[in-house]
Amino acid sequence: MKVSVITLVHGRHAHLATQQQALLRSSRLPDDYVIVAMDDPGVAASFPDPRLPGTVVELPRTGTALPLAKARNAGARAALQRGADLLLFLDVDCLPGPDLVAGYVAAATDDAASARLLCGPVTYLDPPGPQGYCLDRLSDLDSPHPARPAPLPGEIFPDDNPDLFWSLSFAVTAETWNRIGGFCEDYTGYGGEDTDFARLAGRAGAGLAWVGAARAYHQFHPTQDPPVQHVADIVRNANLFHARWGSWPMGGWLQGFRDRGLIEGGHGTTPCTLADHVGRPA
């Protein structure tokens, strides 16, 4: 089975370099590494690491929002053209545990999981010390996010709740990807496109499967909860999701924005809008 790791990047070059160092410590190395550089022409000059066979796909940005959904499709398309049997999507901030690649491969050959979206537990790391994260001891930091299932290594739990899917770390066979048809490229910027993809997968008969061995570790970076820096993207994408599926995604974030007076609507049949005092993107 040829495994292609697909990573999107815009900035965060230090995180990308550390991810590659972690991949090189894998018990099962990936066969290919596709980096999609979103409006980031500096990536191709430095990546991928020469010890990892791979390529960089250049994807210019149109408009103000990063084309995350389009970039994932572009990465998948490049990986499939290069012969991938298993597409392994890993956020640029995520460090693979030593058995992540092997764990996804094992799940992709398991009769009960192979036709599903394969998802691994993710630990959100504290800021690193002066020497960075010790990549040889990532498992010592294991504390998976409590909002998602976290089976033990060696365990695989089927799950049919599409709202639990996240695109930080997941794998899908080429056959299942083609059956789903990829991400909806009408989504731009942050939020909603991954939940939409999981709904498309469910419609195509592909639920989720949580893979205990496929553990990842999310490198620290400053953020906000709810992510107010992405409020305009989230409002736009939430309305698109509601138009497509008749329900509202990202409910916790929308409520958080309402509590702060940043948005109105986004519940029932009321469209989601930015509050008058919130600046619109150019």
What percent of the chain has pLDDT above 90?
94
| pLDDT of 12 above 80 | yes
Statement to judge: residues 240 and 203 lie in one domain: no
Statement to judge: residues 261 and 175 lie in one domain: no
User: Quick one: pLDDT at residue 55?
Assistant: 97
Statement to judge: residues 260 and 131 lie in one domain: no
Structure tokens at 268: 């029932």
- Any domain includes 223: no
- Any domain includes 166: yes
- The last residue of a domain, from among 199, 218, 237: 218
Statement to judge: residues 104 and 168 lie in one domain: yes
Reported as a pLDDT band with limits 50, 70 and 90, residue 282 is: very low
- Any domain includes 279: no
Average pLDDT of the chain, as a whole number: 95
Statement to judge: residues 140 and 109 lie in one domain: yes
For the chain, how many structural domains are there in total?
Answer: 2
- Any domain includes 280: no
CATH number, domain at 67? 3.90.550.10
User: Quick one: pLDDT at residue 61?
Assistant: 86
pLDDT in tens, 148-160: 999 999 999 999 9
Give the residue from 225, 237, 231, 224 showing the smallest Cα distance to 280. 231
Statement to judge: residues 152 and 177 lie in one domain: yes
User: Quick one: pLDDT at residue 62?
Assistant: 80
User: Quick one: pLDDT at residue 115?
Assistant: 98
Statement to judge: residues 27 and 76 lie in one domain: yes
Give the residue from 274, 242, 239 showing the smallest Cα distance to 258. 274
Statement to judge: residues 170 and 264 lie in one domain: no
- The last residue of a domain, from among 198, 218, 238: 218
The residue type found at 254 is: L
- Residue 110, domain extent: 3-218
Statement to judge: residues 209 and 236 lie in one domain: no
Q: Which residues of 34-48 are buried (b: 16+ CB within 10 A; e: fewer)?
A: bbbbbebeebeeebb
The residue type found at 251 is: G
Statement to judge: residues 121 and 73 lie in one domain: yes
* Residues 93 and 167: beta-carbon distance below 8 Å: no
- Any domain includes 115: yes
- The last residue of a domain, from among 196, 218, 240: 218
- Any domain includes 281: no
pLDDT in tens, 178-225: 999 999 999 999 999 999 999 999 999 999 999 999 999 999 998 888
- Any domain includes 168: yes
- Any domain includes 211: yes
Residue linked to tokens 């965060």: 12
Cα 76 to the chain's mean position, in Å? 13
User: What's the whole-model pTM score?
Assistant: 0.96
| pLDDT of 280 above 80 | no
Statement to judge: residues 209 and 258 lie in one domain: no
pLDDT in tens, 84-107: 999 999 999 999 999 999 999 999
* Residues 217 and 197: beta-carbon distance below 8 Å: no
Statement to judge: residues 142 and 249 lie in one domain: no
